[in-house]
Amino acid sequence: MDIPTDTPPKPSPVPDGKPTPTEQKRASRGATRPGDRIFLGLSRGSGIVLLGIMAAVAAFLAYRSSVALADDSGNFLTTFEWDPAGITTGGKPYFGIAVLVFGTIVSSIIALVIAVPIAVGIALFISHYAPRQLAAPIAYVIDLLAAVPSIVYGLWGAIVVAPNLTGLYSWLDDYFGWTGIFEYQGGAPRSLMTVGILLAIMILPIITNVSREVFLQVPKFNEEAALALGATRWEVIRMSVLPFGRSGIISASMLGLGRALGETIAVATVLSPSFIIQASVLDYGGGTFAQNIASKFSEADEYGRDALIASGLVLFVITLLVNGAARMIIARRKEYSGANA
Amino acid sequence: MKLQRMNRRALTLGALAVSGALALTACGSDDTGDKDGGKKSNAASKINCDGAKGQLMASGSSAQKNAIDAWVAQYRAACSDVQLNYKPDGSGAGITAFLQGQTAFAGSDSALKPEEIEKSKKVCKSSQAIDLPMVGGPIAVGYNVPGVDSLVLDAKTLADIFNDKIKTWDDKAIEKLNPDAKLPGTKIQASHRSDESGTTDNFTKYLKGAAPAAWPHEPGKSWVAKGGQSAQGSSGVAQLVKQTPGAISYMELSYAKEGIKTVDLKTGAKEPVKATVDNASKAIAESKTVGEGKDLALELNYKPTAEGAYPITLVTYEILCEKGNKKDTLATTKSFLTYIASEDGQAVLKDEGYAPIPTEINTKVRETIKGLS
Amino acid sequence: MSITTVKPTGTPGGKPSPSDLKAARLPRWSPYVIAVGSLAVGCGIGLAADLDSRMQWGLIAAILFVGVSYFLSATVEGGRQAKDRLATSVVWVMFLLAVVPLASLIYETVKRGSKVLDGYFLTHSMGVVADDEAGGGIYHALIGTLEQVGLACLIAVPIGLLTAIYLVEYGRGKLAKTVTFFVDVMTGIPSIVAGLFVLSFWILMLGFGPSGWAGAMALSILMMPVVVRSTEEMLKLVPNELREASLALGVPKWRTILKVVLPTAIGGITTGVMLAVARIAGETAPVLLLVWGTPVINSDPFKDAQASLPLYIYQQYQSGNQVGYDRAWAAALALIVFIMILNIVARGIARWKAPKTGR
């Protein structure tokens, strides 16, 4: 058997959720059976319930944000300040998300760049390289690490990791300081880079778990066929495992990115935030959406909270764009996936 | 059927969790022992719990959390029917929850703003919210300079340090105040809170009040000056100072320990003032009441001339409705507040590192509480 | 196959092959030797250049290991084998790179957490113990977390699973597209925002007080998209041949899904659900807003404030004194162990129910 390239006959698109005649016919000639009808109803019902909840949350956020944005005297997208109480402007709210967009994207990119190769490496290690007796416990420990609450990562990051990074940063500054990105002026290394490293460690288990699960699903005959042709282990992986698992890896990375983008308490614990944008990722400063929400939330008044919600809404949009991009990549590689979706 | 199996799995887990939890209830205990029993039961006998029962919700300033803990321990010994939940998630969150009618009272490090009092009329029905000063505490300026065991600074120097004007520890301004200290040439790492906080509010109020020329920024809960490191929460700031040689920051006195030394403040008095509980009480005694009617909001004197008055002091208010906001919790609230404002209640504070409210102001607080109905 | 490309003689370290049918290979022990050697050199360079961060030592050793294995293999075994070795050594290095921080995290948690974690700690609430006094326990928080997470699962797992089934097995129309879209949106929801939503809807609008149930609702909102996304991914991986075979035998579609598709994917689905549970069990922000927290035991999730483990950890950390830190670490350890137990149970069930596979 080879990789299925023929997709089942495509049904005509259904205009809405109701079981139109086309859909009923498509539901595999079995929609007449009561079991099928009930099951379809149940699963579609769940989808609708989920949709209802999500739409309610989105509507709620949009409403609260609009309240906040109406009174913002700064430009919400380009202002480098966060002052919804108007301390510096004499009572007029003045806030914007420029710094947060920058910090969130930079720290998440750092996290992904570090975490994805390592996670795929570990996943391959568990699924293809490790001795069998070792693989299961390792997989289990990695699973476990996904369960460590972020506050513990935060504690550990601030107490154990950050003090150990000074040496690495000075070294990066010595050799790559000229790029401007790796400039380091000393001081406690509570920078976007540190956040990125910590986030990488935090999302590692998620990406590893999902990728491993995907690698284990690679049809055995594909690999065996390649091996029989005399391929080395790496060639097997490159030719049959990775193409098969690509959409899974991307999906796993997106799950990880979702956590990285929205990570709150760990970032707030290790970052030394400030409302500036700088080229260097090693010097302290910057901020992320979730960190800013966590830091400002408890002391914010009602309007301040609305302003923070507005920033949360932007985080949504960013996540949405990222997810959309991922969906497109996956769709393009669909022929490798064995499913009919 | 498979669906049932899937659901059964979830159900099993859920049921396992719930039933397990319920089964476990039998073996858990709220009884954490009575550590200093004699003292407690003695004080407890004086507490009046007329009509006090059920759950009392309150939230707000984390600065007074330890004081509340100590009070609750005493209070529960007398009125075991009462369960007091104080959530220390910040003054702002406390006021918001109070204004939404979620809590019986709020704890706040700053007095209510006029618009907040206006808003409170909705939740307080026929009355409005008032501030009752209940706990005081010094905000210490902690530093980590190896080899320097005592350091004297004045308001202007502090303002310049935190405003990035004085950049090294051997700066002339610091040397002049500390002729005997061996000051190193290291860079000053001025650090502040990254979250919004009443501590920042009170500290910047002091800088603005005592050295308006050197501190151009408006005081507020969030740090508006540029530059400097920052960390989340007082515990985060304390950790930062501990880890970073050359660092200086402000924090509640109880956080300034384990390697963090505190700055003595040069005020209008002859001798530099240490950050201690007693000295904070002296500063509160120098303050004047600015609240109207039953509201007892205080305004501290940031340039005290009295000996030993430490002006960087934070006063935590309990905020509640003039006439109580909910009928069913009013008796409990009144009973608890009566206790904490009493002599016994205030006497607990010193052991916990807080400054009691001076008698003159405290008398007015007690009168107001008596009038709650 | 590569016999022709390999030069059997004249290579340093490689013996001439005993048989012409076998290519020259590095001896089996060579990776270990290279590893030890690189580590030694890495440490040597670190010491000599006076690099104070151990991380750099490790990085240098790792780079050396990868480089040396590739170079040796390329000279002895030829290009294709060298690439294979490169991949192997890179995978090993990746694994070690990840293990070091993760092991450090576990080590620190166990070391600091075991200080106060004992029977008393597990069976007592905080009662009237103040934040800066020693003593007290996590019993109340443990119960709270168990109930809140259990309730959240009861809501989110069925809905999430069924939605994923709908999307993969049935959904093609606009509804499916919309659901996919909103699930994507919701993966990026900051947890505090979910908390705020339930706060304004359940507590402020409908006037209920804080309770474990309110927290569970917010947690289930956070959990649903994760369950849907991971289940969806796993269902897509089930080969079409399986479905077609089942349908061809005249099995109804719903039975095919329940009897063939789900059991095949059950391992991955369990992992996904466990990941989701892990995510919500560690959430602080919504719990802080909705469950409120309390120092005493309340085992009724539908009435009055409850406690929860992450909230407990957070508050103990915020208290900023040593006894608080000790309690925070101990509670973190307890939370990890709790999730570990859940994990074992779920995996056991999944393995028991799943069809036997080659691996």
Identify the helix (H) or strand (E) that includes residue A95. strand A94-95
Query: What total number of domains does chain A contain?
Result: 2
For the ranges A312-316, C108-112, C261-265, the lowest mean pLDDT is seen at A312-316
* Residue A326 included in any domain: yes
For residue B298, what are the CA distances in angstroms to A256, B340, C146? 50, 19, 45
* Residue A3 included in any domain: no
How many residues does the structure list for chain C?
A: 359
Cβ atoms within 10 Å of C359's Cβ, excluding its own: 10
* Residue A122 included in any domain: yes
Nearest to B138 by CA among B285, B347, B355, B303: B355
CA–CA dist B255, B317 (Å, integer) = 21
Q: Which of A70, A104, A129 is the last residue of a domain?
A: A70
Task: Examine the domain organization and report whether A206 and A109 are in the same domain.
Answer: yes
Q: What angle do CA C147, A53, A264 make, to 5 degrees?
A: 65
Task: Examine the domain organization and report whether A206 and A63 are in the same domain.
Answer: no
Chain C residues closer than 8 Å to A152 by CB: 105, 109, 282, 313, 329, 332, 336
Residue A108 in tokens: 């998440």
Q: pLDDT digit of tens for each residue in chain B (373 aa)?
A: 444 455 555 555 555 555 555 555 556 677 765 544 444 445 556 777 777 778 888 998 888 888 898 898 888 888 888 888 888 888 888 898 898 888 889 999 988 888 888 888 888 877 888 999 999 989 999 999 988 888 999 898 999 999 888 888 988 889 888 888 888 888 898 999 888 888 898 999 999 988 888 888 888 888 888 778 888 888 888 888 988 888 999 998 888 877 789 999 988 888 889 898 888 988 888 888 888 888 888 888 888 888 888 999 999 999 988 877 777 788 888 889 999 898 888 988 888 889 999 888 899 999 888 888 7
Tokens 């904490």, residue located:
B340
Between chains, do C109 and A148 touch, taking CB under 8 Å as contact? Answer: yes
Q: Collect all residues with Cβ–Cβ distance below 8 Å to C76 and sequence separation of at least 6.
A: C11, C13, C14, C24, C25, C26
Q: Collect all residues with Cβ–Cβ distance below 8 Å to A22 and sequence separation of at least 6.
A: A11, A12, A14
Task: Examine the domain organization and report whether A165 and A130 are in the same domain.
Answer: yes
Between chains, do B66 and C161 touch, taking CB under 8 Å as contact? Answer: no
If you measure CA to CA, which chain A residue comes closest to B247? A187
> pLDDT for C116-159, tens place per residue?
888 888 888 887 787 777 888 899 999 999 999 999 999 999 99
DSSP assignment letter at C249:
T
Between chains, do B224 and A87 touch, taking CB under 8 Å as contact? Answer: yes
How many residues does the structure list for chain B?
A: 373
> pLDDT for B69-106, tens place per residue?
889 888 888 888 888 888 888 888 889 889 888 888 99
* Residue A1 included in any domain: no
Neighbours of chain B (3+ CB pairs under 8 A): A, C
Q: Mind giving me the DSSP string for C153-179?
A: HHHHHHHHHHHHHIIIII--SHHHHHH
* Residue A12 included in any domain: no
If you measure CA to CA, which chain B residue comes closest to A269? B232
Task: Examine the domain organization and report whether A148 and A42 are in the same domain.
Answer: no
Q: Rounded mean pLDDT of chain A?
A: 78
What's the confidence (pLDDT) of residue A73? 82
Between chains, do C282 and A254 touch, taking CB under 8 Å as contact? Answer: no
- Distance in Å, alpha carbon of A142 to nearest chain B alpha carbon: 22
If you measure CA to CA, which chain C residue comes closest to A130? C92
What's the confidence (pLDDT) of residue C234? 85
Task: Give B245: exposed, middle or buried? Use CB within 10 Å, 0-12, 13-18, 19+.
Answer: middle
CA–CA dist A211, A268 (Å, integer) = 29
Percentage of the residues of chain C whose pLDDT score is greater than 90: 13
β partners of residue A94: A83
How many residues does the structure list for chain A?
A: 341
Would you list which residues of chain A are within 8 Å, Cβ to Cβ, of chain B?
39, 42, 82-83, 85, 87-88, 158-159, 162-163, 186-188, 190, 268-269, 271-274, 276, 284, 294-302, 304-305
DSSP assignment letter at C271:
H
Structural domains of chain C, ranges and CATH numbers in brackets: 18-112 (no CATH), 139-353 (1.10.3720.10)
Task: Examine the domain organization and report whether A25 and A116 are in the same domain.
Answer: no
Identify the domain containing residue A43 by its residue range.
Answer: 21-70
Say which of C80, C105, C230 has its CB closest to residue A210. C230
Max intra-chain CA distance, chain C: 85
For residue A27, what are the CA distances in angstroms to B94, B201, C117, C185? 55, 64, 56, 28
* Residue A77 included in any domain: no
CB C249 within 8 A of CB A198: no
CA–CA dist A267, A265 (Å, integer) = 5
Residue C162 pLDDT grade (very low, low, confident, very high; cuts 50, 70, 90): very high
Task: Examine the domain organization and report whether A237 and A327 are in the same domain.
Answer: yes
Q: Collect all residues with Cβ–Cβ distance below 8 Å to A164 and sequence separation of at least 6.
A: C53, C54, C55
Between chains, do C279 and A259 touch, taking CB under 8 Å as contact? Answer: yes
CB C41 within 8 A of CB C63: no
What's the confidence (pLDDT) of residue C54? 67
In this prediction the ipTM stands at: 0.81
* Residue A9 included in any domain: no
Task: Examine the domain organization and report whether A180 and A245 are in the same domain.
Answer: yes
Task: Examine the domain organization and report whether A138 and A50 are in the same domain.
Answer: no
State which residues of chain A have pLDDT below 70.
1-32, 329-341
CA–CA dist B200, B95 (Å, integer) = 17
- Distance in Å, alpha carbon of B258 to nearest chain A alpha carbon: 15
What's the confidence (pLDDT) of residue C6? 42
β partners of residue B190: B248
Q: Does residue C9 surpass a pLDDT of 50?
A: no
Task: Examine the domain organization and report whether A52 and A159 are in the same domain.
Answer: no
If you measure CA to CA, which chain B residue comes closest to C144? B21
CATH code assigned at A225: 1.10.3720.10
Task: Examine the domain organization and report whether A181 and A326 are in the same domain.
Answer: yes
Chain B residues closer than 8 Å to C335 by CB: none
- Contact of C170 with chain A, judged by CB distance below 8 Å, is answered with yes
* Residue A75 included in any domain: no
Task: Examine the domain organization and report whether A44 and A125 are in the same domain.
Answer: no
Nearest to A278 by CA among A111, A84, A80, A82: A80
